[in-house]
Amino acid sequence: MPLGVKALGTNPVKSAKQHPGDRNVVVTFAGVTFKPGHYVYSDSDGIIVSETPLHQT
């Protein structure tokens, strides 16, 4: 079911930038683990995370 969300009078709050963030780290969310150097492919049906490229060059 497509769902559109709209808001009036939004005002983004500037970050304090006290933590610069991290790069090249493993992250996991929604049961999917993303590792640096892996390839991510997605469409409206799902997502694939692969250690090697699946696309043709």
pLDDT string in tens for the chain (57-residue length): 787 777 777 777 887 888 878 899 999 988 888 999 999 998 888 888 999 999 777
Q: How many separate domains does the chain show? A: 1
Q: How far is CA 39 from CA 42, 53, 55, in A?
A: 10, 6, 10
* Cβ-Cβ contacts under 8 Å for 15 (sequence gap 6 or more): none
pTM of this structure: 0.54
| Domain residue limits at 32 | 24-52
The answer to whether residue 36 sits within a structural domain is yes
Q: Evaluate whether residue 5 is within a structural domain.
A: no
Flag whether 47 is in a domain.
yes
Domain annotation covers residue 29: yes
* b/e burial code for range 6-26 (CB count within 10 A of at least 16 → b): eeeeeeeeeeeeeeeeeeeee
Task: Report if residue 17 sits inside a domain.
Answer: no
C-alpha pair distances (Å), 51 with each of 13, 30, 37, 55: 37, 19, 7, 12
Q: Is residue 8 part of a domain?
A: no
